[in-house]
């Protein structure tokens, strides 16, 4: 039987591979949008890396270490900065790899029993709700729902560009 830790680590590996695959060949069009109100690939990437604020890896680390018992969550922030706007694809890929490396190391250090019973209150500012979530819930919602939706968004961008 696969442990929840192994399952989460597999989802993280799969998420990294999928995101890197979706960005292949997009170095010339990271900022292209099919319409002004849509997000570019760059915006979608930095939204994923820094939602919740500080990124999923930082939140998970904080919960597992006991230093974070609650956090705020806003929907639909692209988390763009002037610095990030100037990054080439190589630098964007470094940020992606750093994110996944940090998250993997955090979970691996926690071990199978380290995830049990670790929770935080999520203040969803966009919806006006407060929810108690376990680390497992946060990871499952992140990679199973939130990230999957943005992977489809990136695939749609690729399809629009004929990639």
Domains contained in the chain, number: 1
Structure confidence at residue 1 (pLDDT)? 42
b/e burial code for range 31-68 (CB count within 10 A of at least 16 → b):
eeeeeeeebbbbbbbbbbbbbbeebbbbbbbbbbeeeb
Structure confidence at residue 94 (pLDDT)? 97
Structure confidence at residue 27 (pLDDT)? 93
Q: Where are the beta strands (DSSP E) in the chain?
A: 70-73, 119-124, 129-134
Structure confidence at residue 2 (pLDDT)? 53
b/e burial code for range 132-149 (CB count within 10 A of at least 16 → b):
ebbbbebbbebbeebbee
Does 80 have pLDDT greater than 50? yes
- CATH number of the domain at 108, please: 1.20.120.450
7, 106 contact by CB (below 8 A) = no
Q: What percent of the chain has pLDDT above 90?
A: 71
Per the structure, the complete domain to which residue 148 belongs is given by: 4-161
Residues 60-69 have a mean pLDDT of 92
pLDDT tens, position by position, 141-161? 888 888 999 999 999 999 999
50, 79 contact by CB (below 8 A) = yes
104, 12 contact by CB (below 8 A) = yes
């Amino acid at each position: 039987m696969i442990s929840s830790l192994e399952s989460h680590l597999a989802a993280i590996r799969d998420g990294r591979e999928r995101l890197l695959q979706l960005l292949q060949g997009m170095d010339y069009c990271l900022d292209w949008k099919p319409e002004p109100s849509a997000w570019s690939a760059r915006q979608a990437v930095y939204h994923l890396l820094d939602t919740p604020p500080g990124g999923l890896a930082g939140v998970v680390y904080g919960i597992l270490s006991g230093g974070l018992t609650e956090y705020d969550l806003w929907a639909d922030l692209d988390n763009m900065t002037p610095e990030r706007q100037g990054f080439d694809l190589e630098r964007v890929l470094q940020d992606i790899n750093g994110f996944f490396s940090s998250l993997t190391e955090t979970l691996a250090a926690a071990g199978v029993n380290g995830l049990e019973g670790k929770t935080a209150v999520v203040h969803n500012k966009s919806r006006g709700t407060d929810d108690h979530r376990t680390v497992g819930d946060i990871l499952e919602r992140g990679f199973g729902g939130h990230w999957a939706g943005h992977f489809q968004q990136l695939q749609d961008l690729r399809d629009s560009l004929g990639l």
